[in-house]
Amino acid sequence: MWTVTLIAVAIVLWLLYRKKWFSSLKEQGIPGPEPNLLFGNLLELISKNPLECYGDWIKKYGKVVGYYFGANPVVLVADPDLLKRILVSDFHKFINRPNLVRPIRRDKKGDNKRLEGFSQHLVTLRDKRWKEIRSIITPTFTASKMKQMAPIMNGAIDSLLGNIKKQGEAEFDIYGMYQRLTMDVVGRTAFGIQTDVQNNPDDLFLRCAKVLFQNDIKNPILLFSASFQSLDFLWTAVGRLKVRAANKGVNPVNELIQSVKDVIASRRGNTESRRNDLLQLMIDAEIDDLSTITSEDLTAKDDNEEKTTGASSGKLTRRMTDADILDNSVLFFLAAYETTSTALAFTTHFLIHYPDAQEKIRQEVQNLIESEGDLDYSSVNKLQYLDEVIHESLRLFPPIYQFVSREVAEDVDLGKYKLKKGVAVQVPAYHMHRDPDLWGPDVDEFKPERFSPENKKKIHPMAFQSFGAGPRNCVGMRFAYMEAKLALARILAKYKLVTSSKTESLDGITLKIAPAQLNPRKGIWLKAVPL
Bridge pairing between strands 495-498 and 525-530: antiparallel
Percent of the chain at pLDDT exceeding 90? 49
> Given a cut of 50, is residue 460 above it in pLDDT?
yes
Lowest average pLDDT, out of 278-292, 330-344, 371-385, goes to 278-292
Spatial distance between the Cα atoms of 58 and 256, rounded to a whole number of angstroms = 42
| Strands (DSSP E) found in 70-126 | 72-77
> Given a cut of 90, is residue 315 above it in pLDDT?
no
Mean pLDDT: which of 12-16, 299-303, 320-324 is highest? 320-324
Q: Are 118 and 260 in contact (CB under 8 A)?
A: no
Spatial distance between the Cα atoms of 47 and 217, rounded to a whole number of angstroms = 9
Question: Using one digit for the tens of pLDDT, what is the confidence trace for 131-149?
Answer: 988 988 888 888 888 888 8
Collapse the DSSP code of 358 into the 3-class scheme (helix H, G, I; strand E, B; otherwise coil) and give the result.
helix
Please report the pLDDT score of residue 261 as a whole number.
85
Please report the pLDDT score of residue 309 as a whole number.
44
Please report the pLDDT score of residue 373 as a whole number.
84
Spatial distance between the Cα atoms of 153 and 495, rounded to a whole number of angstroms = 19
Please report the pLDDT score of residue 22 as a whole number.
87
Burial 488-524 (b: 16+ CB within 10 A, else e): bbbbbbebbbebeeebbeeeebeeebbbbbbbbeebb
What is the average pLDDT across 492-513?
Answer: 95
Bridge pairing between strands 511-513 and 518-520: antiparallel
Collapse the DSSP code of 188 into the 3-class scheme (helix H, G, I; strand E, B; otherwise coil) and give the result.
helix
> Given a cut of 50, is residue 306 above it in pLDDT?
no
What is the average pLDDT across 430-446?
Answer: 96
Please report the pLDDT score of residue 247 as a whole number.
59
> Given a cut of 90, is residue 100 above it in pLDDT?
no
Please report the pLDDT score of residue 524 as a whole number.
98
More confident residue, 395 or 149: 395
Binding site residues, as ranges? Answer: 474
More confident residue, 294 or 267: 267
Please report the pLDDT score of residue 192 as a whole number.
82
CA distance from start to end of the chain: 83
| Strands (DSSP E) found in 311-442 | 318-319, 405-407, 412-413, 418-419, 424-426
Lowest average pLDDT, out of 300-309, 353-362, 449-458, goes to 300-309
Binding site residues for heme, as ranges? Answer: 474
Please report the pLDDT score of residue 362 as a whole number.
97
Spatial distance between the Cα atoms of 224 and 217, rounded to a whole number of angstroms = 12
Q: What is the pTM of this model?
A: 0.89
> Given a cut of 70, is residue 529 above it in pLDDT?
yes
* Torsion angle of C-alpha atoms 152, 156, 161, 162, degrees rounded to 10: 120
> Given a cut of 60, is residue 354 above it in pLDDT?
yes
Percent of the chain at pLDDT exceeding 70? 85
Spatial distance between the Cα atoms of 324 and 125, rounded to a whole number of angstroms = 10
Average pLDDT over the chain reads 86
Please report the pLDDT score of residue 493 as a whole number.
96
What is the average pLDDT across 49-56?
Answer: 93
Spatial distance between the Cα atoms of 320 and 18, rounded to a whole number of angstroms = 42
> Given a cut of 90, is residue 20 above it in pLDDT?
no
Mean pLDDT: which of 116-130, 202-216, 412-426 is highest? 412-426
